[in-house]
Structures are given as structure tokens and as C-alpha cells.
Amino acid sequence: MSYTKKNTNKDKLIARHSNTFAEVYTESPKVDNPMETNNPSSESDTRKLKILLAEDDVVNQKLFSYMLQEIADELIIASTGVAAIKLFKENTDLDLILMDLKMPEMDGYEAVKNIRELDKTVKIFAVSAFAPETQGEAVNGNDFNDYVSKPIRKADLLKIISKYF
């Protein structure tokens, strides 16, 4: 028994539009990098940041390290609020501090108060899994410049950072 394939309307349609389908599936859309400037040679001109991450969870430390590698010249990690203050005093040229709100020894709220006594200008973002309606509470009146919500998404993190740098 032998089979021959009949040329159906579906086959004709695919043959007629195969170039169109190829264009649709082979062209990859340009994804905007929130840290990129309008300068065509921005890759070499993009300023890398010195960042302090105050985060007690090792998995989150690794996740942040991965997400920040393209924009961070140096990433310093503290596991407690006390360590964050100590590392800030040793690195007064920091561009950004990402501060977890719940950490051992000293929480992020207390740590940021101590840091603000030393420096009012460094950008500090609260990092927490609090519900979105509490984001404003975390930032307002607590010396934070902005808020990063957990679970962390790279695009969201870079977008927030790009508002300041």
C-alpha cells in the first residue's frame, strides 16, 4: 500500500505565506535595557555601580548577585543590619544600598536610620516581601528612597534602579 499526500488548501496557504511566517519567527524583538542610555556606544559608557546588599537569606544573596552583575562594578554583601552599617562605614563611596527589612541582630529600618545619620544622599531601597499596599509605609518616613518587592524580578529591579542612575 502506498500513500500520496494531496495538496490541500492548508498546504497551499502555508506555501504561499511561508516567507511571512519565517519573518515572524526569525526576527527577535529588541528588548530595552533599563540601564542603557540613548548613546549608541552606551555599553562602554554605562557607569557601573558600587552596591551594598543587606540580605540575610543566602539564596536571595545569590539571586541579587546574578541580577546585578551587569550593572554592579562591586557588590558588597552584609547578612545583618549591624554588618550593613559596618560595611557602609568602610565603603562611603557606595552608590546604592539594597536593604532587607527583616534581618537578624538589627532590622533594615533601624540600620537605615543609622546610615542616614552618616549620609543623607546615598540611595537606599527597602527590600521585602510585604504586600504591595505596605510598600508606601516602608518607604515613607523611614529614610528609604524606594522599594523592591520580593519575589524579585530582574526587569523590575533594573527598572527601579534606572530611575536613579
pLDDT digits (tens, 9 = 90+) for 60-88: 999 999 999 999 999 999 999 999 999 99
133 domain residue, yes or no: yes
137 domain residue, yes or no: yes
2 domain residue, yes or no: no
129 domain residue, yes or no: yes
63 domain residue, yes or no: yes
C-alpha cell at 68: 546585578
Return the CATH number at 122.
3.40.50.2300
Kindly report the number of other CB atoms within 10 A of residue 7's CB atom.
8
Rounded to two decimals, the pTM is: 0.71
The rounded distance, in Å, linking the Cα atoms of 16 and 46 is: 46
State the SS3 of the chain.
CCCCCCCCHHHHHHHHCHHHHHHHHHCCCCCCCCCCCCCCCHHHHCCCEEEEEECCCHHHHHHHHHHHCCCEEEEEEECCHHHHHHHHHHCCCCCEEEEECCCCCCCHHHHHHHHHHHCCCCEEEEEECCCHHHHHHHHCCCCCCEEEECCCCHHHHHHHHHCCC
Domains of the chain: total: 1
Averaged pLDDT of the chain: 79
pLDDT digits (tens, 9 = 90+) for 24-73: 333 333 344 444 444 444 444 568 999 999 999 999 999 999 999 999 99
15 domain residue, yes or no: no
Host domain of residue 59: 48-162
- pLDDT of res. 62: 97
1 domain residue, yes or no: no
First to last CA, the chain: 71
71 domain residue, yes or no: yes
